Structure 1
Amino acid sequence: METHEYPKEDITILWKPKLCTHAGVCVKTLSKVYNPKARPWIQTDNASKDELIDQVSKCPSGALSIKKDEA
């Protein structure tokens, strides 16, 4: 399955477009990070690591997930 990766410190946000139901939770929760009109549409520099982890946990479709990078 196609997966896009967006790194931030020691985590990476994974986005699987085919799972996305476009519920908009990400955009409504962290609009400074998620902008569907921008490329790339996820700007991890615009939020803290904890904010990103919290928001990704609210994704209803599971299209967004967090991968902890190997140390």
Structure 2
Amino acid sequence: MDNSKEYSNGDITVVWKPKLCEHAGVCVKMLPKVYNPKERPWIKVENATTEELKNQISQCPSGALSYY
């Protein structure tokens, strides 16, 4: 069981795999309006465009974030 979570805006679905996450903070630094570890849910995909999300996810060093 990988415990992954999915967050969708209807156009893109962001997948987060907590077991892979290295907590590098790249997501929070790049899109602080989307990623806020202090809130639940901590990922709010509606606060960025699909292109912004794709660009940020490609920068994730651990591979914990992906999309479809």
Please give the range of the TM-score, normalised by the shorter of the 2 chains. over 0.9
Deviation at 1:10, TM superposition (A): 2.1
Match of 1:27 in 2: 28
Query: TM-score of the superposition, structure 1-length normalised?
Result: 0.91
Match of 2:18 in 1: 17
* AA in 2 matched with 1:54: N
Match of 2:66 in 1: 65
Contact 1:26–1:56 under 8 Å retained in 2:
yes
Match of 2:41 in 1: 40
5+ residue gaps, structure 1, are: none
Find out whether 1:4 has 2:5 as its counterpart: yes
Q: Give me the CA root mean square deviation.
A: 0.6
Identity of aligned residues (%): 63
* AA in 1 matched with 2:57: V
Deviation at 1:8, TM superposition (A): 1.7
Query: TM-score of the superposition, structure 2-length normalised?
Result: 0.95
Give the Cα separation in 2 of the matches to 1:2 and 1:16.
7
Deviation at 1:11, TM superposition (A): 1.5
5+ residue gaps, structure 2, are: none
Deviation at 1:44, TM superposition (A): 0.7
